[in-house]
Amino acid sequence: MYDYIKVIAMDLDGTLTQHKTPLSAEHRKILTKLSKKYKLLMVGAGQVMRIFNQLEGFPIDIIGNYGLQYGVYNSQTKTMDIIKDVTVECDKEIVTDRINTLRERYGYTEYAGETVEFHPSGCVTFPILGTKAKQEDKLSFDPDRRKRRKIYDEVVNTFCDYCVFVGGSSSFDMAPKPYDKYYALDLYCKENGLSHNEVVYIGDDYGLGGNDESVYKSDFNYITIDNYLDFPTVVKPLL
């Protein structure tokens, strides 16, 4: 079924690991088996080195920040060589005004810390509960994402110059257009002489506003996963 596949691309949190937790020994063994048959590629929302550290140094190439960053594993130094690190200028005043307008419109005017988080890459996080919110408050705010999906279209319209994602447990993440996981993976294929048909992507965040949705709705082969503990079962056909 997968004889034509050359690259397995995948998400990390929720797909291969629990959110922001290290790679398990079991999943590391499976990745090692897969790497003997396919090229492995991590496609992430976070920075390359954060992903690499979470993987505890597993030898894999990593696309970070929705394609703004790209790192290649160096087998001699056993670390990542960052060969692409794009920074996009962000008008912080305009972004802050937009977020405060959304807060007023939907009643999210009480928050802890800052109203917005700016990242060095040019990506932006709209933390509905604020940058200093308590973890327990964030986890209980919108576990099924209904609250954020209810206003998702409005956030997308407000930030028409960004790709908008329902992120974490209580935020919206935004990357400057055209950067999303589809754009990053498509560019990777073009730069490496691959067709979309030669790539299969594995991801859990494929619903409305999910950061894997752009790949899920595209012509790339896609394997859905809803619990990272199911990873061994999900990839078994590839082995």
- The pLDDT of residue 143 is 92
Strands 171-176 and 117-118: unpaired
Number of other residues whose CB lies within 10 A of the CB of residue 70? 23
pTM (whole model) above 0.75: yes
The mean pLDDT of 214-227, rounded to a whole number, is 98
Helix (H, G, I), strand (E, B) or coil at 202: strand
Strand 199-203: give its sheet, edge to edge: 79-85, 69-74, 61-64, 39-43, 7-10, 199-203, 221-224
**Over the stretch 174-203, which tens digit does the pLDDT of each residue have?**
999 999 999 999 999 999 999 999 999 999
Domains delineated in the chain: 7-86+180-238 (3.40.50.1000), 92-176 (3.30.1240.20)
CB 21 within 8 A of CB 55: no
215-233 average pLDDT score = 97
Q: How confident is the model at residue 59 (pLDDT cuts 50, 70, 90)?
A: very high
Q: What is the mean pLDDT of residues 162-173?
A: 95
Is 19's pLDDT higher than 90? Answer: no
Residues 116, 99 contacting (CB under 8 angstroms): yes
Tell me the pLDDT tens digit for each residue of 73-110: 999 999 999 999 999 999 999 999 999 999 999 999 99
Predicted local distance difference test score (pLDDT) of residue 214: 98
Per the DSSP assignment, residues forming a β-bridge with 236 are none
- Cα(first)–Cα(last) distance of the chain, in Å? 11
